[in-house]
Amino acid sequence: MGTKSFNKLLTFFLLCALASSTKAQSELYPRHFDLKEVMLLDGPFKSALELNNKHLLEYDANRLLTPFIRQAGLSDNIDSPYFGWQDKHPKFINWGDNSFNLEGHVGSHYLSALSLAYAATTDVTMRNALKERLDYMISVLKDCQNVFDNNSDGLYGFIGGQPINEMWKELYNGNLEAFNKKGGWVPFYCQHKLQAGLRDAYIYGENDTAKELFHKLADWSVNIISKLSAEKIEAMLNWEHGGMNESMLDAYQLFRENKYLEAAKKYSHKTMLNGMQALNTTFLDGKHANTQVPKYIGFERIYENDTTAVNYGIAATNFWEDVANNRTVCIGGNSVNEHFLHADRGYRYIDQLDGPESCNSNNMLKLSEMLNDRTHDAKYADFYENTMWNHILTTQDPLTGGYVYFTTLRPQGYRIYSQVNQGMWCCVGTGMENHSKYGHFIYTHEGEEILYVNLFTPSELQNETFGIRQETIFPYIDTNATDLPTANTATTNLTILKAGTYKLAVRHPSWVGGEYIITVNGKPVKSDVTPGEASYVTIDRSWKEGDVVRVFLPMELRYEECPNYTDYIAFKFGPILLGAQTTAVSQEEAALTNLPYEPLPNEYAGEGRMDHAPGSRATSLSLTKAPLLIGDRRDVLSKICAKDLRQLRFSIDVSRPEVSSYAWKQLELRPFFDIHHSRYMCYWYQQTAENFAKSEMATSEAANEKLLKRTLDFVAPGEQQSEAGHEYSYGTHSTTGLFNSERYRDAQRNEFLQYTLYNNQGVKEGLSILCRFTTADKGRKATLLVDGTAIAEITIPDSYESAEKNGFYNIEFPIPDKLLTAKRGKAKKQFVVKLQASPNTFCPGLYSLRLMKN
């Protein structure tokens, strides 16, 4: 037997052995194959999986467990084997220390990540290491849960990592007041992550104890809200709560007890359910994006399990339509600074550094899978492919395995990466999971009758019914192939490994740029497809082992406009976003490419509250200094020439010889997922010379650039994460809302708004507070205090000399010198800024707050 045949046989027996174990995944996702049944072959996704596996094992599992052990009281119990645990294994610095507390959420994600990696990995040594760690963590969590077995105060079945046990007891007794005080800590969000982790430890990690823990915790989730009225539950759900409705559906599917289906509906936020009963393209404006996506995942799961709940399915479908068609940018992600934009704020995709959040895309992929399962509409697979290649894959540091929170779309931005055992961000948690899930949607099925090929990913599927091997270098072009109809055609080969009679449905992507051809054993198959429209081509036959289906995918270069800001465009080849470096990764690369080398400030995040955010830690360059494409848009593609289709390399002419101060000439375009550790372009300014000359781009950018350079710290009032990162406090009746597309926070008479602003640069002279108000609040009065000292009396005028057209204006108030220094003349590191409403008027709406230097 030859080496190749032996390797195939070894692979076959390995996959059969994996498939022979429990099939819990199909209990929840019956149209999907178990991850262990789909083996990734060589390519970018397998490389990402393997790097992530190693990265996961670098995390300190004991420290991730510390919050749970502490909340169970085991570390302080002298009779417990965990006595003194906190001293031996100190908890990680909480992402929101001194502001809010999310302890336990990353440890919970870590359970899911270990489980998914175990299921997706075929390397025996790695599988054993992942499984050993997972089983160990579950055994510790079981001890934590057992502590509450005799509890009658609402903690039976409980496991948790936040220091709020007493709050849970109050909630169990129907008291929402205690919960509201900790609402910013998003308690149910954290609990959902743990429930998902235990669920995954069972269905992917094959740990039966985890199933027991999940069952008891699901009961706790039912009981903890059992004494709350529907009105109180709805008020509770105004706080971010993850996918609690989804995890209750998981319990329903696994245990088949109706109380979990009922609980799923209780945990469904009716405001968001009712708001999407018709396709509403403004309903999501200004809302915290990733707070919403998991709710609609839960709505879809409810409809899957209760087809009488039609309104839940309608809401999920309409939500996806709005986000996918109106709010999704070139990378497949959405939102800016975690929030959905108004249509008239599309420019923020470009001028802000905190672009789409990775968690959003993680959840949008889940929702897309579910909607595809229900409808088999290939548009969902098209969306999935775009987001997987151009966002999820790009969020892994190829050197360290670290994760990315915000992907900057601003021209010449760059990524900030997490470091192992630091930065316990939500996007670290989902990042841990992302790179083990690439095999989850390549293939799906309808019973034994239809096998869907959704994605063109090198892989092998083996289960009791189906066997297929997909070999491809997609999206790259095999320039050595002799049977390509055009030079820009990618191919994938599907080899049947198991005989059977069924329909093979292969996706026809909307991006196909020519004739879509499928052959079976060299003979063309009729494919009735519509160019530009995603669909499936179905081949119904009795398949023999060794049959080969060859798919020809002609790709073309095209541009996409930025949503609601068409001055900017992105370039794609097939589904792949093309980007360009504008700085070199190293001095050596600089010498080869003539790109400038720049060590990127704060490229690796530490423990700081906002270290994940480019808007706080990265440096921006003027938009006017970025490469510009000035000319007729109809001619823009002619500026691009193919260099190497096997590597998807192109050159783009960005020269402007008529402008002597403009230095850009030629840049290389290549897959965005391949660009790391440099400044980059993914959106490009493109306008005619006439329109550019009339634009306000240069003047507005100059003003914004000046503002950014002087800003030491910034708060976006009314935005959850920004407020939480600045030790917010405000009066009982404070409200937040939107006016002219900008979010504000105000307060009633005699009440206040208060934030802590940080002077991380240690500046000790010439500081001021900048507030953003609107003349629409004319007559409102307040006192501005810094560290308890009044520095200004504010009355909003009916007009302001430098106000913008819509009435917004910025105004600065110098901080007196005596307030700038601490003991021994050192610069103060922080300032408590308070806006105190007068006794007679509401507090002016505060739209932004900045600590400024001269």
- The pLDDT, as a whole number, for residue 13 is 45
Cα end-to-end span (Å), the chain: 77
Stated pTM of the model: 0.86
569 and 497 in a single domain? The answer is no
669 and 790 in a single domain? The answer is no
Average pLDDT by stretches of 10, the chain with 854 residues? 45 45 77 97 98 99 98 96 96 74 96 98 98 99 98 97 96 95 94 98 98 99 98 97 98 97 99 98 96 99 97 99 98 97 94 96 98 98 99 99 98 98 96 98 98 99 97 94 91 98 98 96 95 97 98 97 97 98 96 94 92 90 90 96 96 88 91 98 95 75 79 91 89 87 90 96 95 96 97 95 88 96 90 97 97 95
CA dihedral of 624, 583, 621, 406, whole degrees rounded to 10:
120
219 and 80 in a single domain? The answer is yes
- The pLDDT, as a whole number, for residue 1 is 44
Which of 696, 716, 738 is the C-terminal boundary of a domain?
Answer: 696
- The pLDDT, as a whole number, for residue 658 is 80
Strand 500-508 and strand 450-453: the pairing is parallel
Residue 379 covered by a domain: no
Tokens of 269: 């936020």
Half-sphere exposure of 717 (CA within 13 A, CB side): 32
Residue 92 covered by a domain: yes
Which of 266, 291, 312 is the C-terminal boundary of a domain?
Answer: 266
3-state secondary structure 327-396: CECCCCCECECCECCCHHHCCHHHHCCCCCEHHHHHHHHHHHHHHHHHHCCHHHHHHHHHHHHHCHHHHE
Element holding 561 (H helix, E strand): strand 557-561
How many degrees, rounded to 5, is the angle at CA 659 between CA 658 and CA 663? 120
Q: Quick one: how far is CA 184 from the chain centroid?
A: 20
- The pLDDT, as a whole number, for residue 2 is 47
Q: What is the CA radius of gyration of the chain?
A: 28
3-state class (DSSP) for residue 592: helix
Residue 407 covered by a domain: no
Residue 187 covered by a domain: yes
Those residues whose C-beta lies under 8 Å from the C-beta of residue 610, and which sit 6 or more positions away, are 616, 617, 725
730 and 637 in a single domain? The answer is no
- The pLDDT, as a whole number, for residue 14 is 47
Those residues whose C-beta lies under 8 Å from the C-beta of residue 266, and which sit 6 or more positions away, are 225, 230, 233
Tokens of 11: 């692979």
Q: What CATH number is attached to the domain comprising 814?
A: 2.60.120.260
Q: What's the total number of domains in the chain?
A: 4
Residue 28 covered by a domain: yes
- The pLDDT, as a whole number, for residue 155 is 98
567 and 506 in a single domain? The answer is no
- 372-402 residues labelled b (16+ CB within 10 A) or e (exposed): bbbebebbbbbbbbbbbbbbbbbbbbeebbb
d(CA 362, CA 195): 17
505 and 632 in a single domain? The answer is no
Element holding 644 (H helix, E strand): strand 640-644
Residue 331 covered by a domain: no
538 and 567 in a single domain? The answer is no
636 and 713 in a single domain? The answer is no
Which of 696, 722, 747 is the C-terminal boundary of a domain?
Answer: 696
| Closest of 167, 66, 64 to residue 108, by C-alpha | 64
Q: Which domain holds residue 713?
A: 704-852
161 and 13 in a single domain? The answer is yes
| Closest of 433, 324, 320 to residue 387, by C-alpha | 324
25 and 127 in a single domain? The answer is yes
d(CA 151, CA 595): 65
Residue 461 covered by a domain: yes
667 and 723 in a single domain? The answer is no
119 and 256 in a single domain? The answer is yes
Residue 420 covered by a domain: no
Q: What CATH number is attached to the domain comprising 493?
A: 2.60.40
CA distances from 175 to 236, 266, 373 (A): 11, 17, 40
Query: Is the separation of the CB atoms in 647 and 447 below 8 Å?
Result: no
Query: Is the separation of the CB atoms in 789 and 763 below 8 Å?
Result: no
CA distances from 565 to 201, 386, 411 (A): 44, 20, 14
Query: Is the separation of the CB atoms in 608 and 97 below 8 Å?
Result: no
